[in-house]
A = this chain, B = another copy of it.
Amino acid sequence: MDVSLQSLANGLDTIWVLLCAALVFFMEAGFAALEAGFVRSKSSINIIMKVIMDCTVGMLGYWIIGFAIMYGIDKFGLIGTNGIAVRGTLDHLGLNIPVDAFWIFQAAFAIAVATIVSGAVAERMKFGPYIIFSFLATALIYPVAGHWIWGGGWLGQLGMKDFAGSAAVHAVGGWASLAAVMVLEPRLGKYEKDGSANVLLAHNLPLAALGAFILWFGWFGFNPGSSLSGLDLNIARIAVTTNLAAAAGGTVGTLYTLWKWGKPDPSMTINGALAGLVAVTGGTAYVSHASAIIIGSIAGILVVWAVGLFDKKGIDDPVGAIAVHGVNGTFGAVAVGLFAQDGGLFTGGGTHLLLVQIIGVLSVSLWAFGSTYVIFKLLKAAVGIRVTAEEEIEGMDVVEHGIAAYNNPRPTQDGVGQAYIKSDLVAE
């Protein structure tokens, strides 16, 4: 084989990006397991089906038009203008790797944004309208925000730093979730008439925890892979700051709930670690180990506080998507302006970067919230977005898909159970 230094460098970058893309794609399995585990069993395969829709319909949406809007040649700092179906001249991207490698990595990010919303609308949103939303999330909502920051748009031009997307991915997904939930309204039974909130118990915490582990694993691709180069000397530091923030977030989430309620809450431990990951994602390449730990620690408190706040305010988010991704994505984007070794307020860089970060994350958050709000209102008017009360009580799985998530084990005739379970010979 003919090899040159340049072809080796390109090959190295290509396998790095492809393997990281695989890890980021695998986060969909993590989201699916986390969300399914956190909701009630009667609606658990429905939420997984929605995540699969992100991977299928959503991926096609990003292929058809989303990528073009995000990474096409910039117009007015607002939008990309070529690259439909990943075709045409994309030299302006200045890639060392094949466009296809870049695309698959970006596509895995795009579907993650849609999937963040899937958790927030769990247990009550109709399946059909969700498919339409998933397509629009990857075809329009995320690409516009992504263009502003990463695609040559006005926020990137302003100097905004968002390494792997605390703002572009997580704040966008999180605040889109808030809009969706506001239009969709809470699940039946979540709130009493006096406004007090009930806990609708997670049906399978081991599944949810497995999902969290998969997400953390996927973050080894999400953050370091965003270098787009295996020759970037910074990727090792990125891997470490990512993990330290997760460790700090999980530690603090656990200890904080232990102190507050006397018992460490599994969902807060899990969401604490995820909040740390989300918050460090923007600055992972720019901050020190110690700063990553501080960022993660703050995230671990923020997420507990935010989950409680939304719960009180009548915002019913079954998996904590808004608290994890919205609040901590926003915090993470701002944290870059505080902790970045080059330009952060706390490292002597003054307030310029901080202001840019605040403007940036507010802008994409408003865009995500507003566009999602409009889309959900339109969907509600056009086709309806919510199943009927009867259907919601019955459960989304049987109503939407004609089958329950779990059809065994089932109790035996005596009602007491045995060490093993006999199924019917003939079911259905």
Question: Which residues of A approach B to under 8 Å, CB–CB?
Answer: 1, 3-9, 11-12, 14-16, 18-19, 21-23, 25-26, 28-29, 32-33, 36, 40-42, 44-45, 48-49, 52-53, 55-57, 59-60, 63, 85-86, 96-101, 103-104, 107, 127-128, 131, 188-189, 198-207, 209-210, 212-214, 216-217, 220-221, 224, 229-231, 233, 235-237, 239-240, 243-244, 246-251, 254, 258, 261, 263-266, 269-270, 273, 289-290, 293, 393-395, 397-398, 400-411, 413, 415-428
Contact = CB atoms under 8 A, between A and B. Distances in A.
B263 A400 contact: yes
Number of copies: 3
Contacts of A7: 231
A233 B406 contact: no
A198 B202 CA distance: 32
A128 B199 CA distance: 25
13 contacts: A3-B5, A7-B231, A12-B230, A19-B19, A22-B23, A26-B217, A33-B206, A40-B423, A86-B240, A104-B240, A201-B403, A394-B420, A395-B422
A217 B213 CA distance: 14
A15 B230 contact: yes
A427 B201 contact: yes
A417 B427 contact: no
Residue among A21, A214, A229, A410 having the largest count of chain B Cβ atoms under 10 Å: A410
Nearest to A58: B247
B422 A42 contact: yes
B204 A206 contact: yes
Contacts of A19: 15, 19, 220
Contacts of A12: 8, 11-12, 15, 230
